């Protein structure tokens, strides 16, 4: 494959799966400028790593998630965000970017609570829940994050339990 063909293949795959980059950047960024920077950093790392992508070992989307999440988690750890300025307020356009469609008014409050909960998670658990909400199976989540399927199942169960507790407390005012 020529260098030009290699670049065209990368650009085609990146375009086809670009929502992954935007979802990850949206979940790990404090504001629009940080999101744009993270999208650029993820894209650059994907290009730098593309030569090592092996189609026989993993789907492109799995490989892409792994790189995108590693970049985002590394950046989050480097910055060690303070609780007060972690994210800008959630708005409808964020839900469209992450959820892939318009929010239904009755669900806005629950979605806002869900995204607030996700925003409080540590970087690894945030990645885990993102992949879970993307309907990735435990095997693929484990492969992307480099942890065991048992660990995936345990962590998801704990996150769900914690989320249920917070949602119950929010609805009962406890």
What does the pLDDT look like over 19-33, one tens digit per residue? Answer: 999 999 988 888 899
- The pLDDT of residue 108: 67
Token pair recorded at residue 149: 């399927």
- pLDDT tops 70 at residue 37: yes
CB hemisphere CA count around 114 (13 angstroms): 13
- 154-164: string of b/e by CB count within 10 Å (b at 16+)? ebbeebeeebe
pTM: 0.70
Q: Kindly indicate the confidence band of residue 1, based on its pLDDT and cuts at 50, 70 and 90.
A: confident
pLDDT for 78 equals 80
pLDDT score for 109:
74
Average pLDDT in the 40-68 region? Answer: 94
Q: What is the pLDDT of residues 107-157, one digit of tens each?
A: 567 777 777 888 888 889 999 998 998 899 999 999 999 999 999 999 999
What are the backbone angles phi and psi of residue 171, rounded to the nearest 5°?
-80, -25
Rounded Cα distance, 170 and 174, in Å: 7
- Is 90 exceeded by the pLDDT of residue 174? no
pLDDT tens per residue across span 81-113: 444 444 444 444 444 444 444 444 545 677 777
């Amino acid at each position: 494959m020529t260098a030009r063909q290699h670049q065209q293949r990368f650009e085609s795959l990146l375009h086809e799966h670009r929502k992954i980059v935007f979802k990850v950047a949206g979940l790990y960024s404090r504001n629009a400028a940080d999101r744009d920077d993270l999208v650029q950093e993820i894209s650059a790392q994907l290009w730098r790593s593309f030569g090592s992508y092996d189609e026989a070992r993993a789907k492109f989307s799995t490989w892409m998630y792994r790189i995108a999440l590693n970049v985002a988690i590394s950046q989050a750890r480097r910055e060690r965000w303070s609780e007060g300025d972690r994210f800008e307020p959630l708005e409808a356009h964020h839900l469209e970017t992450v959820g892939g469609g318009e929010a239904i008014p009755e669900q806005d409050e629950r979605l806002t609570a869900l995204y607030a909960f996700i925003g409080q998670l540590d970087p690894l658990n945030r990645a885990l829940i993102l992949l879970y909400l993307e309907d990735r199976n435990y095997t693929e989540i484990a492969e992307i994050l480099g942890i065991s399927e048992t660990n995936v199942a345990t962590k998801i169960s704990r996150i769900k339990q914690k989320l249920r507790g917070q949602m119950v407390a929010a609805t009962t005012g406890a």
